A and B are shown apart, each in its own frame.
Chain A
Amino acid sequence: MIFSSLIFLYLFLPICLVVYLIARPIQVKNAVLIILSLAFYAWGEPTRIVFLILSAVVNYFVGVGIGAFKKEKYQKLCLIGGLIFNIGMIGVFKYSGFIMRNINAIFSADLPVPDIVIMAGISFYTFQVISYIVDCYWGKIEPQKNFFKLLLYVCLFPQLIAGPIVRYETIAAEIDSRKTTLNDFSVGLTRFVVGLSKKVILADQLYRIVEDFLGSSVDVLTISGSWYGVILYSLYIYFDFSGYSDIAIGLGRIFGFHFNENFNHPYLCKDITEFWQRWHISLGSFFRDYLLPITFFGKRNKYLSLFLVWLCTGIWHGANWNYIIWGIYYGLFILLETFIGKKRMNKIPLVIRHIYSKLVIIIGFGIFYFEDIGKLGTFLRNLTPFNPNGWSGYFEQASLMSNAFLIIAAVVCTFPLMNFFGKLAEKNNTAKAVISVSGTLICACLLAFSSILLVDSTRNAFLYWRF
């Protein structure tokens, strides 16, 4: 089920809210959330919940095993078993087709290529359970002895499909005891509406334009048309993914869970290192905390370790060469910035750093977009003066003129507007009341407008669902 669909918003969610708010005590609330989360995940393809529950069962026993054994040797065996299972699950469901296709291509073989449909959210919930068993092994958390509490952590529907990747320690206490305060409910509702609006009003509308430029014949794009398309794609992907995270965090808050932030206005970054501290924070911190310390290269060679982290970041995003290139591309810029050093980076004029970082990010999203390597090559050429179609054409000018309001709104919304108004509201009580009431009315209008736009909407799936 998709968050930005009428059936989720006006059938599933109202039932969910009413049943959850009536349910007492916390054990019943947890049971309600488990049942609704499984129903949410099963919608469209009921058999896939078998694998979700299997993942919870296996990792529950791995956690219990790590807790039960006193000798580190046995604890390590449990952990390795769990890691093989989890990575194997992603390997089979996400990468088997890609691996077989490449084996066939390299060795001119004719091995059968498995046609497995990627299960929505498998990369997200598998990374959550990996973080759980590794934290159990490191002694950072106590293994959960109640299976249903672990199942709730694994299948909690707000963040099940596209993150943020929530650590068990973040919500462990809230699984046992939580309370939705008036502030939680208000902030959660507002965040939910903001996320929905980002997705429906900005991302979905931007994608319609992106498809016109990047989705069809790349070879006829002019230089400005190529840049225009990829800049809008960069805006689209931000609003699509951060919109989902906002909805997840907002819903979590309504149910009394406090998830960590996943985005922090990434386009305000001044370099690529900072970009990755602001973009998909939960994935970056996962690799930093779980992969960097245990890489084969150890602490002796941080550059090779960094390279491995970025290779994995690319592979995580999808079973295609463009994602691997995309990961390595970012790895190279991070390595470059590490070589230069923070002090010397800070000496570079701010304008130049902003231009450099935005260029790298925008070209990077071009690599991310094109799964066809041939088209990617054509597109990258078209960004340069080697483009045979010239500098500019009629269509990008017409498109820019007719979508000016949307594009301006999208650019403005990449800035921290909420923080700006929050600071303005601190001045005095009147300002606070005016800003708060205006914010409420704007949110109500955004909810109504988003709902109208969803009528007969056909292109509303979130991009990160397929990861």
Chain B
Amino acid sequence: MKDKNNNEKKTPRGLLIFNIAVILAVFTGITVFINTAPRPTVSEEEQRELAKCPKFTIESYFSGEFTEKFSEYYNDAVPMRSTWKLIISEFRDKLGFKPDDGVDIVGPLPDIEE
């Protein structure tokens, strides 16, 4: 097959293997962790129940309800959720990222002070 990427310089095989091994190790580690570790059901910090795994039915699949709720469950009830949220908050504090607190300040300063 014609090589369409002739401009890419040859990288030694050892470095390619190292690159693949390290990235795949992180990727596999997170995959195993996220799919096997126990998932929390409640968030104590947010004082709410986390999304539950929906039951599969043909109707719920074709209506899109199952996939939507499953995505919500998968993203919401992440193992060690509180720890990750704490790390995110620390990073945002240190790097100056805007906190994801859902509070948006709108309007000139005097209006808000009033």
Interface size class of B (residues with CB under 8 A): 35 or more
Given A44-B64, A46-B62, A403-B96, decide whether A190 and B23 contact each other with a Cβ distance below 8 A: yes
- Taking CB atoms, residues of chain B closer than 8 Å to A11 are 35, 74
Give A184-211 as 1s and 0s: 1 = Cβ < 8 Å from B's Cβ atoms: 0111011001000000000001001101
State which residues 197-237 of A face B: CB under 8 Å. 205, 208-209, 211-212, 215-217, 220
Give A268-303 as 1s and 0s: 1 = Cβ < 8 Å from B's Cβ atoms: 000000000000000000000000000000000000
**Between-chain CB contacts (< 8 Å), 6 pairs:** A11-B35, A183-B11, A402-B98, A436-B19, A444-B23, A452-B88
How close is A330's CB to chain B, nearest CB, in angstroms?
30
Taking A14-B28, A183-B8 as known contacts, 16 extra A-B pairs with beta carbons closer than 8 A to each other, sorted by chain A number, are A14-B31, A185-B16, A189-B23, A208-B97, A212-B106, A393-B108, A395-B105, A395-B109, A405-B97, A406-B96, A422-B9, A440-B23, A444-B25, A447-B26, A448-B26, A452-B88
How close is A315's CB to chain B, nearest CB, in angstroms?
29
Given A183-B11, A426-B9, decide whether A174 and B1 contact each other with a Cβ distance below 8 A: yes
Contact A393 B75 (CB under 8 A): no
Give the docked Cα–Cα distance between A89 and B95 (Å). 46
Give the docked Cα–Cα distance between A364 and B30 (Å). 40
A120 at the interface (CB under 8 A from B): no
Give the docked Cα–Cα distance between A440 and B70 (Å). 33
Q: Which residue of B lies closest to A406 (CB)?
A: B97
A411 at the interface (CB under 8 A from B): no
A115 at the interface (CB under 8 A from B): no
* In-complex Cβ contact of B109 among A47, A208, A393, A404 (8 A): A393
- Taking CB atoms, residues of chain A closer than 8 Å to B26 are 444, 447-448
B104 at the interface (CB under 8 A from A): yes
How close is B33's CB to chain A, nearest CB, in angstroms?
9
Please give me the 4 A-B residue pairs with the lowest Cβ-Cβ distance, nearest first. A455-B84, A186-B16, A258-B4, A7-B74
Give the docked Cα–Cα distance between A437 and B22 (Å). 10
Give the docked Cα–Cα distance between A328 and B74 (Å). 43
Give the docked Cα–Cα distance between A278 and B12 (Å). 31
Contact A209 B98 (CB under 8 A): yes
- Taking CB atoms, residues of chain B closer than 8 Å to A174 are 1
